[in-house]
Structure 1
Amino acid sequence: MTTSTDMVIRTYGPGKVPPMLDVVADIWADAHPELVDNPGAESQGLSVPALHRQITGHLKHQGFALVVAYAGGTAVGFGYAFPCTAAYWFGPGLVDQVPEGARTERLMGLCELAVRPPWQSRGIGSRIHGELLKSIAPHWSSLLALPSNRRGHDLYSRLGYQYAGPYRNTADGPEFDLLLLRVGPDI
């Protein structure tokens, strides 16, 4: 059996991502079967086509990084993030409610982090997260998690993220938990 120490972790910039969209979307679908089988998920932007659109739209951000974990040559997990401004990430309704450092220091927007279920709880998500932090070197990291995503919340809590408030991408979209991590200038 392959262990997390047998993992190969690769980081890709924007130019290498388009051919990998189906691979990462397949990982995402495996990690979120409750969304794949939910007919309302597409209208909430929580679907494989929505993920394709989301990643493609984020490729334009300077410093974009995709990290993929491989076991035996097969992709088993991924995450992607990019440096962003607080105004972009938090939006006008929330930007004044986050800590000053999250508004003024280097901020990483962590957009997705998913590991196939057979590979979860082996440290792979933590390793992907660590590689994103190395690649982007933020002072703060922020992400959105569905309140129902208990496994994700458990991982983010172990990584040090703290709840910062409720967040909606759109007025009629699902409510997420906004999570923040103070990374510091030295990773």
Structure 2
Amino acid sequence: MFPEFQRYDGTAAKEITDELIDVYATVYDTPAYTDNPFFSVGSFRDRLEAAFPTEGFETVTARLNGRIVGYVHGATLPADKPWWTSLGSRRPPSLSQLANEGNVFWLRELMVLPQAQRQGLGRKIHDSIIATRPETITTLTCIVDNQPAHDAYLRWGYTIMGQIKHASESPLYNAMFLPSQR
């Protein structure tokens, strides 16, 4: 069976918050994350709800039999976002200019339930959201130690700009960008 993809803006995504949280709670229920307060369900809920009203916020879900089995969400990258500015000169100058123009998409989260992983669904969800974004460049941050995701992003064409931390309690991330696919 093929998943059904649905798009939500920030207002509509609020209506499915609990479903999104349930997917997060399942995906991040592994020893690498369960003892870290940064990855608690409550912290994620706070980050997600804070993202809903941001410029260009969008979620794309993949459903099988009515249940979300994976999703992605992101928004237009604010040019003054601390993780972005912390990269300094490690950002290609053209990307800094595009961010100043509101022309960079920040893919904030991409997750697929364990039983639906390794079937190409993550890539389909990823491609689905960026295919219709008005921004020409996509950025994301990937936990350095998350080898499966890290390898996938590199296979998909992402380039590493440098390492960052989102917060003092967060792990180390690689900040990456995907050149224009248009």
- TM-score, normalised by the number of residues in structure 1: 0.86
Match of 2:110 in 1: 113
Cα deviation for residue 58 of structure 1 reads: 1.1
Match of 1:144 in 2: 141
SS in 1 for 2:132: helix
Cα deviation for residue 94 of structure 1 reads: 1.4
Distance 1:96 1:11, change over 3 A: same
Trace 1:15-30 onto structure 2 (pairs within 5 A). Answer: 15-30=11-26
Deviating above 6 A after TM superposition, structure 1's stretches of 4 or more consecutive aligned residues are none
Match of 1:74 in 2: 67
Match of 1:93 in 2: 86
- Alpha-carbon separation, structure 2, partners of 1:68 and 1:35: 26
Choose the corresponding residue for 2:58, options 46, 53, 65. 65
Quick check: 100-109 or 165-174, which moved more? Answer: 165-174
The one-character-per-residue Cα deviations of 1:7-40 (angstroms, maximum 9, x if unpaired) are 100110011112211211221222222268622x
Match of 1:134 in 2: 131
- Alpha-carbon separation, structure 2, partners of 1:183 and 1:85: 18
Choose the corresponding residue for 1:34, options 25, 30, 38. 30
Cα deviation for residue 162 of structure 1 reads: 1.7
- TM-score, normalised by the number of residues in structure 2: 0.88
Match of 2:162 in 1: 165
Q: Which amino acid is the alignment partner of residue 165 of structure 1?
A: G
Match of 2:151 in 1: 154
Choose the corresponding residue for 2:9, options 5, 13, 23. 13
- Residue 53, structure 1, aligned to residue 46, structure 2: yes
The one-character-per-residue Cα deviations of 1:105-130 (angstroms, maximum 9, x if unpaired) are 21011110000011111121111111
The one-character-per-residue Cα deviations of 1:81-125 (angstroms, maximum 9, x if unpaired) are 111233326443214320122212210111100000111111211
Structure 1, unmatched stretches of 5+, are none
User: How many residues align structurally?
Assistant: 178
- Alpha-carbon separation, structure 2, partners of 1:109 and 1:69: 19
SS in 1 for 2:145: coil
Cα deviation for residue 172 of structure 1 reads: 4.7
Instruction: Name the Cα RMSD after superposition.
Output: 1.9
